[in-house]
Amino acid sequence: MIPQHTSALLISDLHLTPSMPLTAQRFFDFCEKDGPQVEAVFILGDLFEYWIGDDAALDSPFQQEVKRAIASLSTKTKTYYVHGNRDFLIGHDFLKKTGMTLLTDPSKINIAGNDYTISHGDSLCTADVGYQIFRNWVRKPWVQKLFLRMPLHWRRSIAKNLRSNSSAQYQSYAGNAPQDRARKTNVTLSACAALLRDLPSEKLIHGHTHLPAHHHEQFNEQTWQRWVLSDWDLDHPESSLPKASSLRIDASGVHYDDLVKPQ
């Protein structure tokens, strides 16, 4: 059944980690103050910097604090989750304890009478062929079961290496021409068009690319609107301006809400 609500807030790419306390505190405030103002909250992946299994959360005071914040939010408003590329191993135990409802990626939702297709967005970056091959492998159930059976210190080491490799690859892209870098790391029109044919709608919402914007797009005879969610980072002003926003949908339309608190 398609989730239907009169109002909603959508967020993604918070990459929560103890090393980013200001970003985490803004999420805790969001759960307490912003989220309860609407009928539904949709978290479109990468809530955490990485997730190596629900059992690892039992030993993490930080992840337990996040769990309590979401559980409190879920008592006040319906809360949905879509897996991201960093936390696709969030499982039944964590979802149950937080009260979140897991949605497949992609899914269709209806907010204020309008249909939207939602996705984390990494599956739409089809120009990055190497990543798509990697994504296909790590999403296989047997690969995930094998990984989750490993000792926790093995899993942490693997996650650390993957993050290092991801950073190195991003730096290699940074050396390319801007148009080549954008093509490699952004979604493609053909992938968006195919998705909106499979889950018919003319409105697409996703995260992952960290390029928040509202687009009007066309591929062949197909047209649609696309909203990209912001990543959150209030802890590294030396590298970029503080950023955190949500996408609000209600009877008045679709709007970005700036969640960066004044200094």
Cα–Cα nearest to 70, from 16, 7, 4: 16
Backbone angles phi, psi at 228, to 5 degrees: -110, 130
Note the pLDDT of residue 179: 52
The CATH topology of domain 4-121+188-258 is Purple Acid Phosphatase; chain A, domain 2 (3.60.21)
pLDDT computed for residue 248 by the predictor: 98
What strands, in cross-sheet order, belong to the sheet with 101-103? 101-103, 78-82, 40-43, 8-11, 245-250, 253-258
Q: Give pTM, 2 decimals.
A: 0.92
* Residue listed under structure tokens 């936390």: 87
Find the helix or strand (DSSP H, E) in which 226 lies.
strand 222-228
Low-confidence residues in the chain, pLDDT < 50: 177-178, 263
* Cβ partners under 8 Å of residue 29, min gap 6: 261
Phi, psi of 209 (to 5 degrees): -80, -15
The DSSP element (H or E) to which 145 belongs, if any, is helix 141-148
Q: Are 92 and 192 contacting, i.e. CB atoms less than 8 angstroms apart? A: no
Neighbours of 75 (CB within 10 A): 9
The answer to whether the beta carbons of residues 206 and 187 sit under 8 Å apart is yes
